Structure 1
Amino acid sequence: MLSIRECQLETIFVVEELLRGEGIFIKHHNGVETLSLAPKQLHNGLENIEPYIDLLKTITANQGCSGTATLKNLTFAPAASDVRYIATFASALPSTLNTFTLDFSHMRDLRLFGRYAEELRRLFGNLSRSCPQLRKSHIKFHVYAMKLDIPPTWIPPEVTVLDSLLKSRELFPMFEEFHCSVDLNIQLLAYDRARLKEVASHYEDELRRWFPSLNEIGRLKVTSGLA
């Protein structure tokens, strides 16, 4: 497993050079099967996504000792300002990818998801072409509040398109599960377990309404927990 989080750009260049080289490291490692990538430099957004794209391409091309491409699991945790890049990553991913996780831990309100729905639709459109072996995808949400104000039911229009896209066996012939999870950080409810359970159920029901087709055919998994 390779995990890269909140580092300077120079670190990305060093890691890529290690993976691209022909030294003792590359001769004895078995490739990168699981990659966790948070492409942000400390607390700032990215000015250039290309070094991360180059890293993904190097990992994809590198076969390690096994002689075959090894990347199967990718977790991508973009900063809020970098969500616009998520569809671009699909162009650098190998056909061997089985699991793709998006960690929106910066998102403080589920209703903000509407800002990203179109980019997600583009992302999965690209994945349908580059990753035919994709079996599972996981989107992690994080909700923070001092108290609960349950919003009225609202479904971003782009989510409906995404729901239909992920249902398609033609586009995703091996797809098995779309997992949406919500971590709740609602401070005034921390010691009221009954109320917290009620809040969690609300968010779970909301997500099921967002993806009715996947829910109907049993490919939607929705969970919640306390952050």
Structure 2
Amino acid sequence: MLPWIELATAAAPQGDTLRLFRRGDEYSIRLGGGNELMNSRLGGSEEALATLALDRIATKGAPRVLIGGLGMGFTLRAMQAVAPHDAQLIVSEIVPDLVDWATAHMSAVFGTCLADPRVEIRTGDVGDEIRNASGAFDAILLDVDNGPDGLTRTDNDALYSNTGLRAARRALSVGGVLSIWSAAPDAAFTKRLSRCGFAVQEQLVRAGRTRRGPRHTIWTAVRDGP
């Protein structure tokens, strides 16, 4: 078996180290000593994050979408494949090095997707993007951590709190959707979404594209009413 080769490292916001590895045509991003955050062969659930959200806003013209977290670009590329030509796809990534890795080390994974005129990359905290917006987005897609049970940044907990969810609701247009990826189900979080004014659907999706791999959770939460 081919060995893993470390290609690059980056500082995560709270001082941890992100490490990029390659083995043949497979890539892995890991936290610290080896906890794998993402793998280029397991992007099925991240892709579902995009397709399930767009299904909910299919009737909206020129949709404006905020994607929290670039990662390996699974969610972005899935959104590009189904979004109309006049969509605006804004990606907020807090670690600038991950944007550099996309072209410097993972061009085989990303291809030319970042050159799409519909795409805008913003380096910064997606929480700030949400808090500073009012009715600005038709969809907000969050894949910034392990989900409500944060792993890489305790600050991400604010995204999933009552205050954070209400801010996300304000940032959405009426009928807009908040779509959230999680490594595991969370019944209490489903109830919290409902309390914060969303019509919620929770789905289990395979990590692999061939119905293999672990099951991940996707919440699609629609903003109803004013």
* TM-score normalised to structure 1 length: 0.34
Higher strand share: 2
Higher RCO, 1 vs 2 (CA within 8 Å, ≥6 residues apart): 2
TM-score by length of 2: 0.34
